[in-house]
Amino acid sequence: MTTKLHTNRRMTVEDPYTRAMSYGPMVLTDAELLAIILRTGHGAQDAVALSRNLLEAYDNRLGKLLSSDLTELMEFPGIGRVKALELLALMEISKRIACEQHVGHMRMDCPRTIADYYMEQLRHNHNEQFIVCLFDSRAHLICDTILSSGTVRSTSISPREIFSFALRHHAVYIIVLHNHPSGVCEPSPQDIALTKELFASGHMLHIPLLDHIIIGDHTYYSFKEEGLVLDQKEVDND
């Protein structure tokens, strides 16, 4: 009698596990690292082949792969709900590690340190996210929150909502950020108009808007650095 073996195409003896145990994970390729996360393959593919094909579908760019959403990942043959969630969890962990590396160096008077802190959280997003950061009188970050996800053009960003949030948490200063999914961080006319409106509201409520930072792909635009949130006369005369 012939016995049919049911396998899920696990990795062979000469697999990434063996190499990682012997030499450390730094010697593994991107596909091999992904294979350790995914563990099993699909059909005739082992986990390494599945990972290699998955990477090729995203131009062999880990960042592009891990910026996908659950639905998009699950459309790839061999990637079900569990594997897709494992990949999304990996991306979230990498974002949090990136934030941890910058949190001790973040200063509200230094746009670059704030942009660095939020870069990995925002630069991969396909949709625009608008974040409000609250600071106390000693320039310490009190908290932050995502107030909208969509686009600054189509999503109503309400100054009232922003400053109500600031008042509830007794903030002394605020900084706002949003990303441009295109990767280009130059401000649009809508971005400029919104910044002027927030700056004017902050001046009236004595909760100054210190900056509006736009995150692109490894780049950023700071209204403060460009001198566009400090001139109250420009806002009053607009």
DSSP code string of 49-98: HHHHHHHHHTTT-HHHHHT--HHHHHTSTT--HHHHHHHHHHHHHHHHHH
Which pTM does this prediction carry? 0.63
Amino acid present at 31: A
**What percent of the chain stands above pLDDT 70?**
83
Residue 51 confidence class, pLDDT cut points 50, 70, 90: very high
Residue 150 tokens read as: 């969509």
**Residue 178 contacts residue 142 (beta carbons within 8 Å):** no
Please give the DSSP secondary-structure letter assigned to residue 10.
Answer: B
Is 8 or 161 the better-scoring residue by pLDDT?
Answer: 161
Query: What confidence score (pLDDT) does residue 65 get?
Result: 85
pLDDT for 152 beyond 70: no
Ordered domains of the chain (ranges, CATH): 16-97 (1.10.150), 104-236 (3.40.140.10)
Q: How far apart are alpha carbons 67 and 149 in whole angstroms?
A: 15
Residue 41 tokens read as: 């393959």
Please give the DSSP secondary-structure letter assigned to residue 3.
Answer: P
pLDDT for 155 beyond 60: no
* CB under 8 A, 24+ apart: contacts of 28-31: 30/55, 30/60, 30/62, 31/55
Query: What confidence score (pLDDT) does residue 29 get?
Result: 93
Please give the DSSP secondary-structure letter assigned to residue 188.
Answer: P
CA-based torsion, 177, 181, 184, 186: positive or negative: negative
Is 98 or 118 the better-scoring residue by pLDDT?
Answer: 118
Query: What confidence score (pLDDT) does residue 141 get?
Result: 85
Q: Tens digit of pLDDT for each residue in 83-99? A: 999 998 988 787 777 65
pLDDT for 154 beyond 50: no
Q: What is the CA radius of gyration of the chain?
A: 23
